Amino acid sequence: MNKRFIIDAHLDLAMNAIEWNRDLRQPLQHIREREMHMPDKSDRGRGTVCLPELRNGQIGLVVATQLARYQPSGSTLPGWHSPQQAWAMTQAQLTWYREMEKLGEMVQITNLTQLNAHLDLWNNDQKDSASKPVGYILNLEGADSLVDPGYLHIACEYGLRAIGLSHFGPGRYAPGTRMEGPLTKMGENLIEEMNSLVGTSHQLILDMTHLTDAGFYQAYDLYEGPIWSSHHNVRAIVPNQRQINDEQIKLLIERGSVIGAMLDCWAMDLRFINKVSDPWQLNIRIEQIIDHWDHICQIAGNSEHVAIGSDLDGIFGTEQSPHDLNSIADLQKFESLLQNRGYSDTDIDNIFYKNWLRFLQKAWS
C-alpha cells in the first residue's frame, strides 16, 4: 500500500547525533541495543527517530534544529555557560548535517527551487524510498547561541530558514516555557534584524513555539515576515503555559500560519507527569492528538492550519510517547485514525504535508 508523504516540522536530529551520540544512519533497534545499559539519560534505549525510520514512514522532509541553550548563573536547567560555547555547539550540529549530506543521507532545502526538486524526487515511485535523502529545513530552536543579533546573518548564509526566540526557562532573547514576561531588549533587536531580511532570499520564518504569552503577542506584533508554530498543542485541552490558547490560535490563523502538533505525552494529556507517569497505564494513544487538531479546525472552519511537528526526539523516547507508537514511522497511523474521525482525503493530505508545503511555497515565492 502506498504511504502518504509526510512533512514533520520539528525534529532535533543533530542534537541527538552529537549530544546523545546516536548514529542516526543505523536501524532503530541497533541504536536502542547500543544504549541499553547507558544510565545517563531517561530515554536511553527508547529512541523513536532515525533516518531509516523516517524513510520507512515516508517522512521525506523535516524541519531540523540546531539547539544549544545558554545557562545563566542560578538556573537549574542544563545549558552552556557562555553564548560562545552555545554557538560552537550549533556549529558542531551544523557539521553533522553537512556530513549527512556528503553521504547522501540528507539534503538541505533553502528555497523554492530546491523544495520542488526534492518533492519531485520523493514523488518518483521508480526510486525506492530507502535510497532517497531526507530533506531538511534548518531551524534554530531558541536564539541563545547567537552571540549577538549580527550572528543571524552568518546563520542565514549557511542556510538557516526558521528561528524561535526561546526554549525552556530564561533566555537571552526571550523567556521561554515555564516562564513569564516579555522579550528582552536583545530579542527586540533580533526581530529588527529579521525584519531587515524580509523580502530577501534570506527571509526567515519566526517560530512562535516556546514563547511566553507576553512574548508571543509582542513578537507577533513586531515581526513583519512569515510566522508558524512548529510544535504546539492546545491549551483548552492541556491547560498549561506551554500550549497555545484560543486567542493565539485565532491570531495565527489570521496570519496564514500553520500549527504543528507534538507527540510528547505531557503536551497531549494533562494527567501525564514527566519521569513519573507511564503512557500505557494512562492509555495515552496517538489518536488523542486529533482532539487538538479538531479544536483548531473548529476555530478555523477548515483543516488548513494544522499539521505535524512531532518533536519525537526532543529529549524523550517511548517512555514519554503515546503507547501505540514505537517509531516515527507510526505517524502513518494517523491516516486510518483521521478517516475514522470523519476527515476527508483532502483533510488528511493537508495535515500530512500540504499545509506546510503551501506555507513554504508562499514564504519562499
Q: Print the SS3 string covering 152-176.
A: HHHHHHCCEEEEECCCECCCCCCCC
Burial profile 149-170: b = 16 or more Cβ within 10 angstroms, e = fewer = bebbeebbeebbbbbbbbbbbb
pLDDT at 128: 80
**What are the Cα distances from residue 351, in Å, to 8, 59, 289?**
10, 13, 12
Task: Specify the CATH superfamily of domain 6-364.
Answer: Metal-dependent hydrolases (3.20.20.140)
pLDDT at 141: 98
Name the DSSP letter for residue 330: G
- Beta bridge pairs of residue 227: 206
Per-residue pLDDT of the chain (365 residues; tens, 9 = 90+): 589 999 999 999 999 999 999 999 999 999 999 999 999 999 999 999 999 999 999 999 999 999 999 999 988 999 999 999 999 999 999 999 999 999 999 999 999 999 999 999 999 867 788 889 999 999 999 999 999 999 999 999 999 999 999 999 999 999 999 999 999 999 999 999 999 999 999 999 999 999 999 999 999 999 999 999 999 999 999 999 999 999 999 999 999 999 999 999 999 999 999 889 999 999 999 999 999 999 999 999 999 999 999 999 999 999 999 999 999 999 999 999 999 999 999 999 999 999 999 999 999 99
Radius of gyration over every alpha carbon of the chain, rounded to an integer in angstroms: 19
Nearest to 134 by CA among 100, 88, 166: 100
Domain ranges of the chain: 6-364
Distance in angstroms (rounded) separating the CA atoms of residues 334 and 233:
16
Q: Cell numbers of 225, please?
A: 515576515
Burial of 77 (0-12, 13-18, 19+ CB in 10 A): middle
pLDDT at 1: 56
AA letter at 158:
Y
Inter-residue contact 71 to 77 (CB < 8 Å): yes
Distance in angstroms (rounded) separating the CA atoms of residues 130 and 116:
20
Tens digit of each residue's pLDDT (9 = 90 or more) over 232-290: 999 999 999 999 999 999 999 999 999 999 999 999 999 999 889 999 999 999 999 99
| DSSP-based three-state secondary structure for 69 | coil
